[in-house]
Amino acid sequence: MDVGSRRSQRQRSAGPNKGEAREAQILDVTERLLLTTPFADMTMDEIASQAGISRSAMYFYFASKEDLLSALLTRTHGDIVRPSATLLNTGVAADRAIYQVLEAILVNWRQHGPALRTFLETALASPGFGDRWRTLVNENIDVMAEFIDRKRAAGHLPAGPPSARAVSSALFWMVEHEMYELFRSRHNRAAEAELVETLTLVWQRAVGVK
Amino acid sequence: MDVGSRRSQRQRSAGPNKGEAREAQILDVTERLLLTTPFADMTMDEIASQAGISRSAMYFYFASKEDLLSALLTRTHGDIVRPSATLLNTGVAADRAIYQVLEAILVNWRQHGPALRTFLETALASPGFGDRWRTLVNENIDVMAEFIDRKRAAGHLPAGPPSARAVSSALFWMVEHEMYELFRSRHNRAAEAELVETLTLVWQRAVGVK
DNA sequence: TTATTAATCGACAATGTGTCGATCGTCAAC
DNA sequence: GTTGACGATCGACACATTGTCGATTAATAA
């Protein structure tokens, strides 16, 4: 049950990397289809025909429907983790850092809204995928927790309890769910801005800045 | 697609309310089964045989599997909404009120953990049920928002923005998800206490008390 | 006692997943 | 050039599960 593709590593041919291309194409098709159809309502047949292959050929690339989504998660992984990670390792002040992280998360939702939505939904639907998703979210939680701990040690934020980790976890899941609710339906930029504003303030107060 | 039972209202008989009893029994069986099996992995056949009837007889009581869960939600509705509602209409101080609401929510999860877990999961899996679930959670959000507004008007809490409603929403979904994560796996009372403590503090700071 | 409505059942149709063996094309080595 | 291995693809199958339908039995009101 290895996640992702199951083709050989060595690329040896002229019609070069036909497989790689197909796999990427399938992921593209899936994410595009996600714009109009919930993942659960989407059949392997639908994806396959959009990609111009037969349904059973899909199983050459992905062991299951869930595995396909898992591959999409892998592909998006970087985009999700990178922003906070880089940002929080600069010397920004806590209040500004919080705002910027929230902005970065918003940007992600703008770019990958349907995918992120699906990730959360599927995380609650199937334990295997849920583990993967939680692992990823935890990366972000940890980065923020360490940031808080550093600021606490430097005397810029009040010490716990609660532990930085506990606060960070609660706040991140709050953001996750609120973004989910917002992007679940049609909405405008104003609503996005208002949400970020609210979340920023809750975060700042919760960690003790301002 | 009327939610819940579809039998006649008038109860007219001796072998009194056989139907009512069956329906309740099915819900009991379902909630008990939920202790060991995720709802998604649970078949109508399984529930039926536990209740001593055939699978197809289930459809006399519930139009679909989702409708069955919806009926369970209806039955649990009171337990979920009542505590906060009554509590927040007394004259408690804000900090104390927050703690007590969180304690009440914890009690609910202790009593109906598997059901509540399923409600959240299914809310993200099927739009129809999701609407019902959100309606219910919104009742709690509104009650808390009104409470905050009253305390703000009385000068006991700093005014917004953010609006009381926005803050209440963010905080409630935070609680929802954190409880979900906690009750998803085996855990002890200490972890429960710690979570309530963390959430209490985040809430109190977020609304501006303390 | 009988007509009516409640309750229950078995059989069926539909849908979608994942598996398997067969096939076909393309490159690498001979 | 031929051939053999493997990458890529397909159609057919088996399986699980849902929801529907018409027939049948049980209970009660008239």
pLDDT by residue (tens digit) across A114-163?
999 999 999 999 999 999 999 999 999 999 999 999 999 999 999 978 99
Given a cut of 50, whether residue B3 has pLDDT beyond it is no
| SS3 category, A209 | coil
Structure tokens at A210: 């301002």
Q: What is the pLDDT of residue A7?
A: 38
Strand nucleotide closest to residue B17 (CA to C1'):
C6
Q: How would you classify residue B43: left for phi > 0, otherwise alpha for psi between -120 and 50, otherwise beta? A: beta
Query: Phi, psi (5° rounding) for residue A122?
Result: -70, -30
Instruction: Scan for tokens 């292959």, then name that residue.
Output: A53
Q: Please give the share of chain B, as a percent, with pLDDT higher than 70.
A: 92
B 156-175: CB under 8 A from A: 161-163, 166-167, 169-171, 173-174
**Cβ contacts of A173-177, under 8 Å, gap ≥ 24:** A173/A137, A173/B173, A173/B174, A173/B177, A173/B178, A173/B181, A174/A199, A174/A202, A174/B170, A174/B171, A174/B173, A174/B174, A174/B177, A175/A102, A175/A105, A175/A199, A176/A120, A176/A137, A176/B177, A177/A120, A177/B173, A177/B174, A177/B176, A177/B177
Instruction: Scan for tokens 């360490």, then name that residue.
Output: A146
Q: Please give the share of chain A, as a percent, with pLDDT higher than 90.
A: 86
Mean pLDDT of B51-77: 96
Given a cut of 50, whether residue B14 has pLDDT beyond it is no
Please report, as a single letter, which amino acid is at residue A39. Answer: F
A195 CB neighbours in chain B (<8 A) are: 166
Among all residues of chain A, which has the CA nearest to that of B191? Answer: A166
Please report, as a single letter, which amino acid is at residue A192. Answer: E
Distances (CA, A) of B112 to A98, A129, B10, B191: 35, 25, 31, 18
* Cα–Cα nearest to B97, from B168, B161, B159: B168
Instruction: Scan for tokens 């009690």, then name that residue.
Output: B107
* Cα–Cα nearest to A69, from A132, A21, A6, A139: A132
What pTM was computed for the model? Answer: 0.91
Q: What is the pLDDT of residue A13?
A: 40
Q: Which of A36-74 are b and which e, b meaning 16 or more Cβ less than 10 Å from the residue's Cβ?
A: eeebeebebeebbebbebeeeebbebbbebbbbbbbbbe
* CB-based contact, A131 to chain B, within 8 Å: no
**Cβ contacts of A131-136, under 8 Å, gap ≥ 24:** A132/A3, A132/A70, A132/A73, A133/A73, A136/A73, A136/A77, A136/A80, A136/A81
Mean pLDDT of B151-167: 94
Is A15 or B93 the better-scoring residue by pLDDT? B93
Given a cut of 50, whether residue A3 has pLDDT beyond it is no
* CB-based contact, B92 to chain A, within 8 Å: no
Lowest mean pLDDT among A19-33, A61-75, A121-135, B139-153: A19-33
| SS3 category, B9 | coil
* Residue A135 to residue A125: CA distance in whole angstroms: 16
Q: Which of B173, B194, B195 to mutate to test the interface with A (most CBs of A within 10 A)?
A: B173
Q: What is the pLDDT of residue B105?
A: 97
For chain A, what is the radius of gyration of the CA atoms?
20
Nucleotides of C under 7 A from a protein CB: 5-11, 15-21, 26-28
B177 CB neighbours in chain A (<8 A) are: 173-174, 176-177
> CA torsion angle for A142, A169, A121, B63 (degrees, to 10)?
160
Q: Which of A198, A207, A210 to mutate to test the interface with B (most CBs of B within 10 A)?
A: A198
Chain A nearest C-alpha distance from B128 (Å) = 13
The spacing between the Cα labelled CA in B70 and the C1' in C4, in angstroms, equals 31
Distance of alpha carbon A159 from its chain centroid, rounded?
A: 30
How many of the other CB atoms lie within 10 Å of CB of A92? 16
Tell me the pLDDT of chain B averaged across its residues: 91
Instruction: Scan for tokens 């998360």, then name that residue.
Output: A105
Q: What is the pLDDT of residue A16?
A: 53
